[in-house]
C-alpha cells in the first residue's frame, strides 16, 4: 500500500462528472467560494466555528496547490456550490479521508450524496493501491450520517476529539477494521495531548515567545526549537531541542495551535481547529 500523498500525486489533476455535477481541481479563482464555505455559520455548525481571516487566507492559498481538492460545480448553471477533498487521514495511518462542504442553498437536493459518492468511487477505481478511505462526522450531524450510509459506508468507530463525539465511517466492503480501530487509541492520546498542550507550551521557554506570525522567527530562534519535522505542512514545534521526539506542540504558519505525534517511520497530525468532516446535505 502506497501513501495517500504519493497515490494522489500519480493521478492528479483529475476531473469528475456526474449527472448534475462537475468536480474540477480548485483554482485561485475559487477564493470567494472558499471564504463563504469557511465563514458560513450553517456550514461550520459541526466544524467548530467560522474560520478566522488568517485561516481563510491560508486555505485560499493552499487549496489550489492541493492534490485531491475539487470545486463542486453545478452543471445546470455552471455555479460553484462547494468543495470536496480526499487527503491523508490523520486519525488512521495509511487511510485517505474524504470531506465535503456545500453551500446551504445547495442542500436538500442530494448533491452532497452525489459528490461524495463520485469522490469515493474515483479513489477506489483510480488508486486501487491507495489504501482504505474514511469519513468523519459528528453524531449530531444526522444529515451527514444519512449521506454516508446512503452511499454504502458503515460506522466502524466512535471517539471523542476536540471535546466532541465523532463517528468514523468507511465503505462497507473495506476490511481494514484493525487499522480503523487503532483510530480510537489515537483519538484518546490526542485528547490527552490537547488537554495538556497549553500547560506544556507555556512551560517551554520558546513556547512562551512563539509569535503568531511564525515567519517572524529569526534563524537563531529557529535553531533553539525542536528540529524534528520543521517545515512539514508549515508546522514548527514550540518545544526546545532535545525533548522526547514523539510529542510535538506548536503552531501552523497561520497561527493555529496544533499537536502531533511522530516517529521515524510515520506521523499523525491533529489540527486543533481544522476543517475535516462531512457537512453537506
Strands across the sheet containing 247-251 = 236-237, 247-251, 257-262, 267-271
Q: Residue 264's pLDDT is what?
A: 36
Q: Residue 263's pLDDT is what?
A: 46
Q: Residue 270's pLDDT is what?
A: 37
Rounded CA separation 174/176 (Å): 6
pLDDT digits (tens, 9 = 90+) for 25-79: 999 999 999 999 999 999 998 887 888 899 999 999 999 999 999 999 999 999 9
Q: Residue 11's pLDDT is what?
A: 92
Q: Residue 46's pLDDT is what?
A: 84
* Mean pLDDT on 76-94: 88
Q: Please give the distance of CA 114 from its chain centroid, rounded to a whole number.
A: 20
pLDDT digits (tens, 9 = 90+) for 218-273: 777 777 777 665 555 566 777 776 666 566 777 666 666 666 666 433 333 333 34
Amino acid at each position: 500500500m502506497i501513501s495517500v500523498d504519493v497515490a494522489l500525486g500519480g493521478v492528479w489533476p483529475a476531473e469528475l462528472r456526474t449527472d448534475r455535477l462537475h468536480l474540477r481541481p480548485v483554482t485561485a479563482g475559487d477564493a470567494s467560494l472558499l471564504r463563504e464555505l469557511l465563514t458560513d455559520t450553517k456550514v461550520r455548525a459541526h466544524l467548530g466555528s467560522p474560520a478566522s481571516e488568517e485561516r481563510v487566507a491560508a486555505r485560499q492559498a493552499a487549496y489550489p496547490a492541493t492534490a485531491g481538492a475539487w470545486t463542486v460545480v453545478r452543471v445546470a448553471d455552471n455555479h460553484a456550490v462547494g468543495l470536496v477533498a480526499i487527503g491523508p487521514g490523520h486519525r488512521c495511518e495509511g487511510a485517505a479521508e474524504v470531506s465535503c462542504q456545500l453551500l446551504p442553498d445547495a442542500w436538500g437536493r442530494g448533491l452532497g450524496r452525489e459528490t461524495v459518492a463520485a469522490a469515493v468511487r474515483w479513489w477506489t477505481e483510480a488508486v486501487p493501491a491507495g489504501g482504505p478511505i474514511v469519513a468523519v462526522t459528528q453524531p449530531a450531524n444526522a444529515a451527514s450520517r444519512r449521506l454516508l450510509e446512503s452511499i454504502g459506508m458503515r460506522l466502524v468507530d466512535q471517539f471523542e476529539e476536540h471535546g466532541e463525539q465523532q463517528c468514523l465511517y468507511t465503505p462497507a466492503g473495506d476490511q481494514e477494521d484493525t487499522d480503523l480501530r487503532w483510530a480510537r487509541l489515537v483519538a484518546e492520546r490526542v485528547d490527552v495531548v490537547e488537554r495538556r498542550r497549553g500547560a506544556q507550551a507555556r512551560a517551554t521557554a520558546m513556547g512562551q515567545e512563539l509569535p503568531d506570525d511564525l515567519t517572524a522567527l529569526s534563524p537563531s530562534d529557529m535553531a533553539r526549537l525542536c528540529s524534528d519535522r520543521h517545515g512539514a505542512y508549515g508546522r514548527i514545534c514550540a518545544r526546545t531541542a532535545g525533548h522526547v521526539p514523539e510529542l510535538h506542540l506548536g503552531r501552523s504558519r497561520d497561527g493555529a495551535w496544533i499537536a502531533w505525534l511522530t516517529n521515524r517511520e510515520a506521523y499523525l497530525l491533529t489540527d486543533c481547529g481544522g476543517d475535516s468532516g462531512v457537512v453537506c446535505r
